[in-house]
Amino acid sequence: MRDEAVRLVETVRRAGAEGRRLVIVGSGSKAGKGQGVRGSFASGQPMASAQPAVLASGSDAPDALETMPVGDHAGIIDHRPEELVLTARCGTALKDVDALLAQHRQHLPFEPPMLDGGGTLGGAVATGWSGPGRPWRGSVRDAVLGVEMVNGLGQRLKFGGQVMKNVAGYDLSRLQAGAWGSLGALLSVSLRLSPMPYVERNCRLPCSADQALAWMRTWARGFSPISATCYQDGLLDVRLSGPEAAVQAAAARIGGELSSDLGHWSALRDWALPIFHGVGDGGAAQRRGGKGAAEKGVGGGVAREAEDGAALWRIHCAPAAPLPPGRCLVEWAGARRWWRTNAPPEAVHAYAKTAAGVAVLAHCAPDFNAPIMARLKQAFDPNRVLNPHLSHGNPVQ
């Protein structure tokens, strides 16, 4: 719980001056989430031993990269419950944030995954991974009100603020959500909070995958206290949140088995359901798995489940698009699918395209190599000091 901002800014500035490259490391909870990620969220392992699958060029070789731990830069800076705003340093543990907010019946609306029960606020914003309630409660980016960061030039910058509406200058604070620290290392973030619902219940009903998707889409067109939906293996779970009477009335309409046990939703949020096995346990399966546990593949390395060799893909798509064949978990009212499949990557991408969507390996950093993205990288970090392994950095294409 201390302010390390000055030291971190100096670390980046010096690295830039001396031509060194830095890999930002938070708590390490996202370590081992596949080769594409390993470089940026190494679990206390120096990059040199992590053997990243994809590196841009000779100058970005593992031995040229050093880790920059940011986990010590932690602590809540400001929480005013009546403002529904939290400002905290990026190394702050998500579970500390949750505990504080719970005292005031508030929470982070975007439900970030706590992988292995851990994770930091900075990591949650940097990955931009939103949880089960995303279509109803908004994304990580939606909740970002402001950031303090250090760019690749070692400049300490503040964008946005602590207020709900702010259109002064380009929105460079929301841009950091999902940028994986490649535009700058986050120092602190201000987030919009939401009140916890009066009551929350789960409805579970058996049905086919196609029936589940049809219901999800029908419900999306009507007003209801639904705050999450999830289908897998013949069961549809529906989370209802709101005043007691509204929740009860909706539960009666939906049918199924009503329960106050919400364990399913925290397991989904934390990637702890069986379908996530091998990626949701901090990569333990892959570390154990030896040969075949992790294979290099197209687009940044394919993480394969130790047991059956199938990869887990995350597909963001048009919510009503038909489902892929085989084992698939469907959430976000259809808009996000987790597909466990042996299909070759080209087939997965082809499916995603038909669904007006994009497929990425469950746990991997996205592709930041589009020309305009490479130019943005250059605008924030011209010397490629921060997380350089995440893009090849060629803006002229």
Q: Footprint of other proteins on residues 128-157 (CB under 8 A)?
A: 128, 130, 134-135, 138-139, 141-142, 151, 155-157
User: Which of 328, 264, 320 has the alpha carbon at shortest distance from 132?
Assistant: 264
> Could you tell me the smallest distance in angstroms from the CB atom of residue 287 to other proteins?
25
Which residue, 106 or 286, is less far from other proteins as judged by CB? 106
Angle among Cα 311, 314, 319 to the nearest 5 degrees reads 140
**Residue 67 or 314: which CB sits closer to other proteins?**
314
Q: Which of residues 242-271 bind other proteins (CB under 8 A)?
A: 242-243, 245-246, 249-250
- Three-state DSSP class for 32? coil
Q: Which amino acid is at 274?
A: P
d(CA 82, CA 98): 17
Find the binder of other proteins among 276, 332, 338, 339 (CB under 8 A): 332
β-strand partners of 200: 241
Identity of the amino acid at 329: L
DSSP state of 142: H
Distances in whole angstroms, Cα of residue 140 to Cα of each of 39, 113, 158, 186: 22, 11, 18, 14
379 binds other proteins (CB under 8 A): yes
CB of 290 to other proteins, least distance (A): 29
Q: Which residues on adjacent β-strands are paired with residue 152? A: none
Residue from 49, 103, 167, 396 in contact with other proteins (CB under 8 A): 167
* Smallest separation, CB 113 to other proteins (Å): 13
Question: Which residue's structure tokens are 């086919």?
Answer: 208
Q: Are 112 and 142 in contact (CB under 8 A)?
A: no
What are 341's two structure tokens? 């499949």
Interface residue with other proteins, options 316, 327, 343, 345 (CB under 8 A)? 316
Q: Are 95 and 88 in contact (CB under 8 A)?
A: no
Nearer to other proteins, 6 or 379 (CB): 379
With residues binned 3-state (H G I as helix, E B as strand, rest as coil), the percentages for the chain, rounded to 5, are: 30, 25, 45
Taking the least distance from each CB to other proteins, the nearer of 217 and 288 is 217
Give dist(CA 142, CA 162) in Å, integer: 13
For strand 235-242 and strand 199-206, is the pairing parallel, antiparallel, or unpaired? antiparallel
Contacting residue, 12, 31, 101, 179, with other proteins by CB under 8 A:
179
Q: What gap in Å lies between CA 200 and CA 244, rounded to an integer?
A: 8
Q: How far is the CB of 376 from other proteins (least distance, A)?
A: 5
Of residues 61-100, which lie at the interface with other proteins (CB under 8 A)? 80-85
Residue 318 interacting with other proteins (CB under 8 A): yes
**188-227 positions binding other proteins, by CB under 8 A:** 194-196, 198, 217, 220-225
Question: Which of 106, 188, 202, 286 forms a contact with other proteins (CB under 8 A)?
Answer: 106
Restricting to residues 347-376, name those near other proteins by CB under 8 A: 356-358, 360, 366-368, 370-373, 375-376
Contact range with other proteins by CB under 8 A, out of 39-47, 177-185, 280-288, 322-330: 177-185
Question: Locate tokens 């392994």: which residue?
Answer: 389
Nearer to other proteins, 117 or 322 (CB): 322
322 binding other proteins? (CB under 8 A): no
Residue from the set 45, 166, 259, 383 that interacts with other proteins by CB under 8 A: 166
